[in-house]
Amino acid sequence: MAIVVQKYGGTSVGDVNRMKRVADRVARTHRAGNQTVVVVSAMGDTTDELVGMAEKISDLPPGRELDMLLTAGERISMALLAMALHALEIPAKSFTGSQAGIITDGSHGRARIVDITPGRISGALDEGNVVIVAGFQGVSHDTKDVTTLGRGGSDTTAVALAAALGADVCEIYTDVDGVYTADPRIVPDARKLDRLTFEEMLEMAAQGARVLQVRSVEFGRNHGVPIHVRSSFSYQEGTWVVPEEDIMENAIISGVAHDTDDAKVTVQHVPDKPGVAADVFTALGEANVNIDMIVQNVSEDGTTDISFTMPHADVHRTRELLEGLAREVGARGVAIDDQVAKVSLVGAGMKTHPGIAAAMFKALSDAGVNIEMISTSTIRVSVVVAATDAERAVRAIHDAFDLSATPVEVS
Ligand code: ADP
Ligand code: ASP
Ligand code: MG
C-alpha cells in the first residue's frame, strides 16, 4: 500500500465549499487504496487576520501566546476536513502538530523540527483512517509549549511527515498549477516547469518564490522525498521537485524570484579597523537574526558604511540593539530602509555559462532600474532594488532571458 501525504494551502481550504472539494479529492486517494495523510493550512487569510488582531492588542506580543493563537487557524481546518470526510463515510481523524509527534526547538514563530514521533499517525492509518494533521505547528521538546514553524510552514509539516513515514510522494496542493519561471501573478507569461532539482527549488524558495517554504525543500532533499507541487483546482500534473540524478538535462536558468520581506540596514561611518564587522554580526547572530547580503563601502575619511539585509519582521525587535551597537563601535548611526526588494535569477547552468550576471544587469539598466546591492552564489545572482521597481525588474529579467520560451538545455 502506498503512503501519500497531501498538503492543502489556505486558498484551497478557503471556505466550506472548497473544504468539501478537498474532502472529495482526499476520498478518491483513500478509495484508490492509499494510506493517506493530509496536512492542512488555516482557511484563507485566517493567519493574517489572527496576526492583525494580536498587533492591535500589543506592539510586541509574547511569542508563546502568538503561537498559541496562530495554531488555532490550522486546528479549525483539520476538524472541518475530518467532518467533511465523515460526511462522505470515510473514517478520518485529525491531530494537532503536537499530537502528531512534531517535536521542535523552542524558537516561537520560527521553530525548527528536531524530531518526529509519528506513532499516533501510523496507528490511525493502520486502523484505516485518513489522518489529518494541522500544518505549521509542533511542540517544543524542552518547554512543552506549542510552537509555529514560520509563515508557509505547513509545507514543511507535510514534507517532514512524508520523510518520517517513508511516504512515496508528498503532494503540495496550492492555488497555481506548479512552480513557474517567475511568480505567475507578476509575469503572466511565466512558464510552468515540469521538473526541477532540489538545489534549484531550494534557491528559488530561499529567494522568495513562496510556493514552497525553504525548509520543506531541505527536508525533501535530505530525505529523498519526491515533491509534487500542483493545483487543488485541477487534475493536471504539476511540477516535480526531484534529485539531480533524476534529471537528464538541466536548463541554464530555472527562473526569477523576488522577495519583499527584507529591509536594508546601513551602519554609517564605522571606523575602518579590524574587528568591527565581527562585533556587529556576532551581536546580530546572538539575537538570532538571519543576515543575507553584506556590502562594505570604504569612504574617504577612513570610515566605512556596512550595509546588509535582514528580515523586516526582525527590524522592530532589533532596532535598539542596532543603535546600541552603532554607538559602541563608534559609528555615526543606523539607517533602515524597508522599501527594498531582492530580485534573483536562479539556474544550475550558471556554473558553466559566463556572462549571465552581465546580461541581467544590462536588462535592469535598460529598464531604468537602479541596483543597490549585489550578491551571487554558484547558481544565483541577486540584486537589491527599490521596492517600487521590483515587479518591473522581475519582468525585465524574465524577458531578457526569454524564459517564457522552452529552454535551451545543457547536459
Ligand atoms: P498556499 O496557501 O497554497 O501555501 P502560497 O501563497 O504560500 O500558497 O504559495 C503559492 C503562491 O506562490 C502562488 O499563488 C504564487 O503567487 C506564488 N509564487 C511566487 N513565485 C512563484 C513561482 N515561481 N511559481 C509558482 N508560484 C509562485
Ligand atoms: N497558515 C500559515 C501561514 O499562513 C502556514 C501555512 O499556510 O503554511 O503562513
Ligand atoms: Mg504556502
Q: Is the CB of residue 278 less than 8 Å from the CB of residue 294? A: no
Which three cell numbers mark 301? Answer: 575619511
Q: What is the pTM of this model?
A: 0.93
Whose Cα sits closest to atom 6 in ligand 2? Answer: 152
Q: Give the containing element (helix H, strand E) for 40.
A: strand 35-40
Residue of 7, 41, 71, 113 with the most ligand 2 atoms within 8 Å of its CB, for mutation: 41
Rounded to whole angstroms, the Cα distance separating 209 from 256 reads 8
211 lines ligand 1 (CB under 6 A): yes
Question: What pLDDT digit, counting tens, does each position of 269-292 carry?
Answer: 998 888 888 988 999 999 889 898
Q: Name the burial class of residue 314, with classes exposed (0-12), middle (13-18) and buried (19+) by CB atoms within 10 angstroms of its CB.
A: buried
Position 99 in a domain: yes
Position 165 in a domain: yes
pLDDT range class, residue 251, cuts 50, 70, 90: confident
Average pLDDT over residues 329-348: 94
Ligand 2 pocket, residues with Cβ under 6 angstroms: 9-10, 41-42, 47, 73, 135-136, 151-155
List the alpha helices (DSSP H) in 134-291.
154-165, 198-206, 214-223, 276-286
Residue of 12, 40, 78, 151 with the most ligand 2 atoms within 8 Å of its CB, for mutation: 151
| Least trusted range by pLDDT, from 58-62, 188-192, 280-284, 404-408 | 404-408
Position 199 in a domain: no
Position 351 in a domain: no
* Residue 350 to residues 51, 315, 346, 399, 401, Cα–Cα distance (Å): 40, 33, 8, 17, 12
Please report how the helices 390-400 and 356-366 are oriented relative to each other, as an axis angle in degrees rounded to 10.
Answer: 130
CATH of residue 46: 3.40.1160.10
Position 132 in a domain: yes
Structurally, the chain folds into a number of domains equal to 1
Domain that holds residue 87: 3-175
CA–centroid distance, 368 to ligand 2, in Å, is 35
Position 320 in a domain: no
**What ranges make up the beta strands (E) of 184-254?**
195-197, 227-231, 239-242, 250-251
Q: Is the CB of residue 305 less than 8 Å from the CB of residue 296? A: yes
CA–centroid distance, 155 to ligand 1, in Å, is 12
State the pLDDT at residue 408: 55
Mean pLDDT over each residue of the chain, to the nearest integer: 94
State the pLDDT at residue 409: 57
Residue of 8, 154, 210, 241 with the most ligand 1 atoms within 8 Å of its CB, for mutation: 210
Position 326 in a domain: no
**What number does the ligand 2 atom closest to the CA of 48 have?**
4
Query: Does residue 411 register a pLDDT over 50?
Result: no
176 lines ligand 1 (CB under 6 A): yes
Position 400 in a domain: no
More confident residue, 278 or 301: 278
